[in-house]
Amino acid sequence: MTTGGQSEGPVAVLMTDIEGSTDLQSRLGDAAARDLVRRQEAVVRAALERFGGREIKTMGDGFLVSFASTRRALECACAIQRELAEQEEGPRVRMGLHAGEVLHEDDDIHGAAVSAAARIMAHARGGEVLASDLVRQLAGAAGLQFRERRPVRLKGLDGTWVLHEVVWAEGDVPAARARPPRRGRRGRGRQRQRRPPRRRTGHRQDQPRRRLRGLRRRSWLARALGRVLGGRGGARLLAVDPGPADVHRQRR
């Protein structure tokens, strides 16, 4: 590491911030909100000591931290989120991670990597860790899981950036690795519930009744037309009348 505005890096830069800190003050009061911030600071500093992070400075209720290892930076961020999630009414902290060369000057760091980490953090919600695609690539096969986000533009920085949400909750599965439902004939067959078979009980027994109703309708129509037409045409129509004997046979 060098001083006097000299380049230091590449390093991993972590930015943190408590979501809705102003709302916490109005909802809990100044004393309770400040106690919440102190608890968050204790969790962050304990994790930095464990994973080798270097606290550069605090900014309001957030931290600017650097790491010599990208993998350790990711592990530290995940450990902080897990610890805060276990606390009752713990603060929701959003985090942003990027990597690159920085300028070290008067116990502070500057440069595009710092600005990018701050912009990435601004896209995160409370309880989320967002990392640049460079951080994901540098992490390699570190046993970490990511969810890819839509490409975004970071204020003041060129180009389009692909961000990744770091999966820190145990048992959580990245959406990108979840298998989608299968398509095609077999997939549709598995997704669709089978319809119960039609009930055919009494189907044959119902046929005589249906025939009887049909004969009655024809008989009524024939009589009506016979009265209107009269003569031989009416007689021919009347011939379709089943009569009482036929009806009796149908009932049997």
- Residue 47: its pLDDT value, please? 98
- Residue 126: its pLDDT value, please? 93
Q: What is the pLDDT of residues 50-106, one digit of tens each?
A: 999 999 999 988 999 999 999 999 999 999 999 999 987 778 999 999 999 999 998
Inter-residue contact 217 to 210 (CB < 8 Å): no
Q: What is the pLDDT of residues 2-58, one digit of tens each?
A: 445 677 668 999 999 999 888 888 888 889 888 989 999 999 999 999 999 999 999
Q: What is the mean pLDDT of residues 209-215?
A: 65
Read off the pLDDT band of 172 (50, 70, 90). Answer: low
Q: What is the mean pLDDT of residues 130-139?
A: 94
Strands 108-110 and 93-105: antiparallel
Taking CB atoms within 8 Å and a gap of at least 24, the contacts of 245-250 are 246/215, 247/212, 247/215, 247/216, 250/208, 250/211, 250/212, 250/215
- Residue 226: its pLDDT value, please? 61
* Cα–Cα dist 79/70, whole Å: 14
- Residue 91: its pLDDT value, please? 86
- Residue 26: its pLDDT value, please? 84
Q: What is the mean pLDDT of residues 116-123?
A: 96
Closest of 220, 209, 58, 73 to residue 136, by C-alpha: 73
- Residue 149: its pLDDT value, please? 87
Q: What is the pLDDT of residues 222-246, one digit of tens each?
A: 676 566 556 555 445 445 455 555 5
Taking CB atoms within 8 Å and a gap of at least 24, the contacts of 217-223 are 218/242
Which residues, other chains included, contact 152 with Cβ-Cβ below 8 Å and sequence gap of 6+? Answer: 123, 160, 161, 163
Inter-residue contact 52 to 72 (CB < 8 Å): yes
